[in-house]
Amino acid sequence: MPSPRTDWNRVHQQSYSNLDKARDKAAQEYMYNSQTARDYMQVQFTSRFGRTAHEWQLDIAEAIILGLDSVLIAGTGHGKTIPFMLILLNDKAETSTLVVISPLKILQEDQVSRFRKMGISAAAVNGDTWKSQKLREDLKDGNIRAIFIGPEMLLKHEDFPMFAREHKIFRNTKAGVIDEAHCISQWSGDFRPAYGELDKLRSFLPPDTPLLPASATLHRTALVDIREKLLIDADESFTLNLGNDRHNICTSVREMRNAEDYKALLSLINLQASSLEELDKTIIFMNAVRPTLKACRLLRKHLPSCLYEAVDFLHALRSRQDKKRVMEGFREGKIRILIATEAAGMGADIPDIKVGIHFGVPSSLAVLKQRLGRIGRDPTIEATAIILVEKSMFKEVKKSRNSSNKEVVDLEIELDGQDEVSESGDDAIEAERGNDTEVIEQENEQTNRVLMESGGLGGKTFLKSVDPDVRVLVLMHSCERDISDEYFDNPMDGRKLPLGYCCGHCDNLNHLPSTTQAPDSPPSRPVTPSPPGEPDHDDPGSVHSTPSKDRNKNGKRAMVSRRKHSTALKARRGEHRKAAQATLKHWRSKTLKKVYPHCAYTAEAILPENVLKRLAGYVHETLDDIEKMGLVWVLAEDHADEVLEVLKRVDDEDKKEKQQRRQAGSEKRREAAKKREQKKREKKSRLQKENQVPGSGGNFSNGYSYYPEFFYKSGTNDYHVDSSIQSRILCSSSLRHCVF
């Protein structure tokens, strides 16, 4: 029986009550004014970032500033890092600091870059950077306001703990942040035991310094575990759970033959692409190092030679320089397909990834959510998440009477630390060196067990043993979003309508054996994946059902045909879409020069490229259509009506051209019909002349069937009947009427 859901409304009320008490206490002690503090943070953030912070981000920052231990749960891409920045932006003297526990070097460097872009001094402290004397001097002098560090470096390094205490580098620290806080529960065993000792973080910080664990994947058990290990009182802290549902990601499941069926990836990639633009930006997650290399080689082999460099791989054993090069290439779009292990699972903060593929069964739903949460970070993108799972996931077995409860066969997964793979992916792996522990896939250190479970899902017995919650998701007998909400204990009211397709179950997109279907549900039809790009909706075989905008009494959206939907937005395709994009770009440039000649705005500020493409892709007739698609941008209020008018002119012109083409086609068909009729008349006339009997004035076909091969012409030009068929012919007094 599933455990009862958390009453998040009660938690919400308790948290905001604690925040109000903290505000009142601060107002009495040092005349604190909540609105003044929030306005100041908002102004500082907007001036540096170009947009306003959300109210919930200000709530978290204010709770930390007022000394409340806090917990933040929000989906990937929601902006969990912004409250970290707001805490520092609140300090007018710019002397306060922040320490952030971050699990991966690549993630540390990414966050340092983001903080520096906001004008906040930041540095990563790890085994690679600790060699720098300048870093040590800056830490001593308090020149670094945001310190990103791993738990091993903080607690286990031979020099750093003593250095930190001796020079009091955390003396002005306002908060201790544990980013990706699920690692405390997920990795604190034998894998990275320092995560289980993070309660010691408080000993480095000034008394009463609050802690802020933040994550996208904290289920009930993990949340309790984290509070215990960090000594956070649930009744006296501030907890904010926004849920981790991603309304713009559609997750589906597809079968592959076995754990090394890399060719299953080929059907999910546009192998006919001839340029970078024709390849959707894709990230493929593997459970071990070696598969990243094999998959990379396979895709490079099947793509055109001009796109060889568009595919690359990333794992923990690559050198720091290689990691940086690959991530920068992926971010800039030079690399379009990245095959990665966990080394990119929490480090790829790239907004325009459209496709995420998980190759193989994940170890847990939390791991799956973290990895596939890297895609679609731009909320206007319709992203696709695909889980490729082995056939053995669905194979049921019958247990013999004499067998024991479990029969186990271990298949060891090879560790690739001794292999040599080159920098380009063909000859040598450079192992990471340094005192920080870099994450190598947890699956690499475990065994892949193939066993016969007794008492599996619904009393069934399956050949392959996996996490029970993962099996529930993979079999997908109900909506994927419902399964995730139940597992992660998401708030009941925190889910938006899907931006496009909902999931493999609701939209019949799964490609699984028929034996995996629920007993009372029709089998899902196999779907042959189309190459990335514009689907051919004129092909009846490619027409899918899609959810309507309205929910039924069960809270689900009824399915309507994409071909027949009247309430859904009509898509522009082909030349029509290209014309819409070109016209919007022309309007954008013209508006920038005409309306904002003296402003620092760029064309992107007038109309962001991703919004432009979405607007050009569908026919939006009203502002409500734009809002329903989530297409909002800074200057929408000023220019949305104008954009609709521009697009309406494009649509009218397209409609006019199509009407002209239809008229021209109709005229052409009429002319062709006339010509065919004329040819028929001429042919008929010619045949009548050919069939006349000389001197008779008539023909053989006067209402009867005739066969000219039965007649021959004699030397006297008289027509005679072949003697071989005379017995079958009845003739009248003349040859005008012959019956066969």
State the CATH number of the domain containing residue 646: 1.10.150
Q: Are residues 231 and 290 in the same domain?
A: no
Q: Would residue 486 count as lying in a domain?
A: no
Q: CA angle 52-58-61, nearest 5°?
A: 130
Domain holding 123: CATH number?
3.40.50.300
Q: Would residue 2 count as lying in a domain?
A: no
> Quick one: 262 exposed, middle or buried, by C-beta within 10 A (0-12, 13-18, 19+)?
buried
Q: Would residue 534 count as lying in a domain?
A: no
- What is the number of structural domains in the chain? 3
Rounded CA separation 722/708 (Å)? 10
Side-by-side strand order, sheet with 146-149: 122-125, 146-149, 97-101, 173-179, 211-215, 70-73, 238-241
- What six digits make up the tokens of 346? 């929490």
How far are the Cα atoms of 358, 449, 515 from residue 465, in angstroms, in the given order?
A: 18, 7, 18
pTM (predicted TM-score): 0.64
Q: Which of 197, 221, 241 lies at the terminal end of a domain, its last residue?
A: 241
User: Can you give the pLDDT at residue 43?
Assistant: 96
Q: Are residues 81 and 228 in the same domain?
A: yes
Q: Which of 610, 626, 655 lies at the terminal end of a domain, its last residue?
A: 655
User: Can you give the pLDDT at residue 416?
Assistant: 33
Q: Would residue 519 count as lying in a domain?
A: no
User: Can you give the pLDDT at residue 568?
Assistant: 57
- Tens digits of residue pLDDT in 342-359: 766 565 678 999 999 999
Q: Are residues 257 and 211 in the same domain?
A: no
User: Can you give the pLDDT at residue 723?
Assistant: 53
3-state secondary structure of 538: coil
DSSP annotation string for 334-391: S--EEEE-TTTTTT---TT--EEEEES--S-HHHHHHHHTTS--STTS-EEEEEEEEG
Rounded CA separation 264/388 (Å)? 8
- What six digits make up the tokens of 294? 């094999």
Q: Are residues 268 and 133 in the same domain?
A: no
Q: φ, ψ for residue 581 (rounded to 5)?
A: -65, -45
Q: Which of 613, 628, 655 lies at the terminal end of a domain, its last residue?
A: 655
**H or E segment and range at residue 138:** helix 133-141
Q: Would residue 695 count as lying in a domain?
A: no
Amino acid at 441: E
Count CA atoms closer than 13 A to 623's CA, side-chain side: 9
Q: Are residues 315 and 278 in the same domain?
A: yes
Nearest one of 191, 195, 186 to 365, comparing CA atoms? 186
DSSP annotation string for 713-739: E-TTS-EEE-GGGGGG-EE-SSTT-EE
Q: Are residues 262 and 232 in the same domain?
A: no
- What six digits make up the tokens of 462? 């399956």
For residues 63 and 238, the answer to whether their CB atoms sit within 8 Å is yes
- What six digits make up the tokens of 116? 């520096």
Burial 506-534 (b: 16+ CB within 10 A, else e): bbbbbbbeeebbeeeeeebeebeeebbee
Give 256-305 as a 3 state SS string. Answer: ECCCCCHHHHHHHCCCCCCCHHHCCCEEEECCCHHHHHHHHHHHHHHCCH
| 574-595 helix and 609-617 helix, angle to the nearest 10 degrees | 140
Q: Are residues 71 and 189 in the same domain?
A: yes
Rounded CA separation 361/513 (Å)? 16
User: Can you give the pLDDT at residue 455?
Assistant: 40
Q: Are residues 361 and 232 in the same domain?
A: no
Q: Are residues 219 and 308 in the same domain?
A: no
Rounded CA separation 529/286 (Å)? 20
- Tens digits of residue pLDDT in 147-164: 999 999 999 999 999 999
Describe the chain by its helix, strand, coil percentages, rounded to 5: 40, 15, 45
3-state secondary structure of 417: coil
User: Can you give the pLDDT at residue 658?
Assistant: 87
For residues 256 and 389, the answer to whether their CB atoms sit within 8 Å is yes
Range of the domain at 358: 249-394
Q: Are residues 127 and 15 in the same domain?
A: yes
Q: φ, ψ for residue 496 (rounded to 5)?
A: -90, 160
Q: φ, ψ for residue 99 (rounded to 5)?
A: -110, 130
Rounded CA separation 499/104 (Å)? 32
How far are the Cα atoms of 262, 312, 353, 530 from residue 307, in angstroms, in the given order?
A: 19, 11, 18, 19
3-state secondary structure of 213: strand
Rounded CA separation 613/606 (Å)? 14
Rounded CA separation 113/95 (Å)? 20
Q: What is the DSSP letter of 402?
A: T
Q: Are residues 275 and 186 in the same domain?
A: no
Rounded CA separation 203/58 (Å)? 27
Rounded CA separation 373/246 (Å)? 8
Q: Would residue 726 count as lying in a domain?
A: no
For residues 429 and 421, the answer to whether their CB atoms sit within 8 Å is yes
3-state secondary structure of 25: helix
Give counts: helices (H), strands (E), the chain.
21, 21
Q: What is the DSSP letter of 511?
A: B
Rounded CA separation 73/366 (Å)? 13
- What six digits make up the tokens of 299? 């895709």
Q: Are residues 261 and 301 in the same domain?
A: yes
Rounded CA separation 265/271 (Å)? 10
Q: Would residue 143 count as lying in a domain?
A: yes
Q: Would residue 505 count as lying in a domain?
A: no
Averaged pLDDT in 10-residue chunks for the chain of 740 residues: 79 96 96 96 95 96 98 92 96 94 90 94 95 95 96 95 95 96 88 92 95 93 94 96 94 92 95 94 94 95 95 88 91 95 69 95 91 91 94 72 40 31 34 36 37 46 80 89 93 85 85 50 38 39 45 51 50 88 91 78 81 85 73 76 89 89 88 88 82 54 46 48 50 44
